[in-house]
Amino acid sequence: MNYTTQMDAAKQGIITKEMEIVAKKEDKLPEEIRALVADGKVAIPANINHKSLSPEGVGQGLKTKINVNLGISKDCPECDKELDKVRVALEMKAEAIMDLSNYGKTEGMRRRIVEMSTAMLGTVPIYDAVGFYDKELKDITAEEFLAVVEKHGQDGVDFITIHAGLNREAVESVKRNRRLTHIVSRGGSLLFAWMELNHKENPFFEHYDELLDICAKYDMTISLGDALRPGSINDSTDANQIRELITLGELTKRAWEKNVQIIIEGPGHMSLDEIKANMILQKKLCYGAPFYVLGPLVTDIAPGYDHITAAIGGAIAATYGADFLCYVTPAEHLRLPTLDDMKEGIIATKIAAHAADIAKGIKGARDWDNKMSQARADLDWKAMFDLSIDPEKAIRYRAESKPHDDESCTMCGKMCSMRTMKKILNGEDLNMLRD
């Protein structure tokens, strides 16, 4: 049986080995996964050249996945430090890693990640173009941008962020509908600048069919980037954001016609009361394609704590339709994240994803919480640590403040409600004052 992409196979009624793996991970029937992939409701980013990949499904009815961003920059060019982050991210069971390197010759690092990573790998090819060609942005041609995409496909990248929705119409909208924070998407701002400097159409929009052919060749999923995502709560759900979203929906249908899988990227910064409506709107305008969000960050005043503001928004977004959460670290808006920043970002995002899975009724999601609750009722500290989302921190906190009574903690001591109820229900002496 011959097929070019996961979607091509699904439409032919073929269940691929990737679909079987995803079905097992999600506790679903392979046929359920196949049908969802055929309809574009689930994407399985799996480049044919990524041999170490353990495939994941992103989309309707599946567990909420998380992505970890990393990569070198001109100020922090050390590849080894970023590869250490890859190893830790894999240990912490992140489902996706995005290499956002934007300095120098990044091919070597990208290939090393592909070789070592069981998680799906994403990139933003436009970040790589300046270093790849050693040319100023203005001087890169449309053909050269597409050649970088092809290179990432050859290297084994599973999904690529492409800001194809930022066309000339959107550029004029940005000029008419001025924002407080303008364009905060790095890739979006680069394309905006290229279009204005060259007085030309976005090459990824103009040559979209050629882009699709490249992606189909390697079964590379397109993550349609939100170039006009809001960078402040003031700018959310404005004309610019919605106009681009409508275009992304049109590009989604064109991609599916060529059997290229699509993920849609979303906001951004957004107040709590707007999140649900945005999730519904995206799913409607983009025909139920998987939705990938950065945050949303629900307030703009917390530099150093943006992993928390993003987790709050992410939990709500995933409850109402988002399928894929991009992590945010405490270093957001401040610096390149350290390894510890990355860990905090992963934990915060995993909490948000799990909270949403409970709310969405994902099969088995509550079981983890129920086991933890039982361990607490039993005062079984080992089980509590084993079940913790971050066992290392839980063990360290308890060790730093040891209680007189080993059953309880230093917060309540022998007045611990769990201890009291356990002893009384077991017919034991409560013994609160005596040793």
Q: From CA 205, how far away is CA 382, in angstroms rounded?
A: 55
Query: Which tokens in the block code for residue 86?
Result: 């890859």
Q: From CA 208, how far away is CA 253, in angstroms rounded?
A: 12
Helix (H, G, I), strand (E, B) or coil at 96: strand
Q: From CA 108, how far away is CA 222, in angstroms rounded?
A: 22
pLDDT tens column, 66-107: 999 998 887 777 888 999 999 999 999 999 999 998 777 688
Helix (H, G, I), strand (E, B) or coil at 182: coil
Q: Sign of torsion, CA 251 253 259 264? A: positive
Residue 333 assigned as binding residue: yes
The alpha-helical segments, DSSP class H, found in 156-305 are: 168-176, 186-198, 203-206, 208-218, 239-257, 272-285
Residue 269 assigned as binding residue: yes
Residue 202 assigned as binding residue: no
pLDDT of res. 435? 65
Half-sphere exposure of 171 (CA within 13 A, CB side): 20
Residue 286 assigned as binding residue: no
pTM listed for this prediction: 0.95
pLDDT of res. 406? 84
Residue 98 assigned as binding residue: yes
| Contact of 120 with 56, CB cutoff 8 Å | yes
Residue 187 assigned as binding residue: yes
| Contact of 123 with 157, CB cutoff 8 Å | yes
pLDDT of res. 234? 98
Residue 412 assigned as binding residue: yes
Residue 185 assigned as binding residue: yes
Residue 152 assigned as binding residue: no
pLDDT of res. 299? 98
- Please provide residue 159's backbone torsions phi and psi, each rounded to the nearest 5 degrees: -145, 145
CATH 3.20.20.540 fits 6-360, yes or no: yes
DSSP letter string, 300-336: SS-TT-HHHHHHHHHHHHHHTT--EEE---TTTTTS-
Give CA torsion, residues 113, 114, 118, 123, to 10 deg: 80
pLDDT of res. 1? 64
Residue 103 assigned as binding residue: no
Residue 215 assigned as binding residue: no
Residue 119 assigned as binding residue: no
- In 3D, which of 72, 70, 162 has the Cα closest to residue 119? 70
Residues of the chain with pLDDT under 50: none
Give the residue extent of every domain in the chain.
Answer: 6-360, 365-425
Residue 199 assigned as binding residue: no
pLDDT of res. 134? 87
Residue 265 assigned as binding residue: yes
Amino acid at 54: S
Helix (H, G, I), strand (E, B) or coil at 166: coil
Give CA torsion, residues 166, 172, 175, 180, to 10 deg: -30
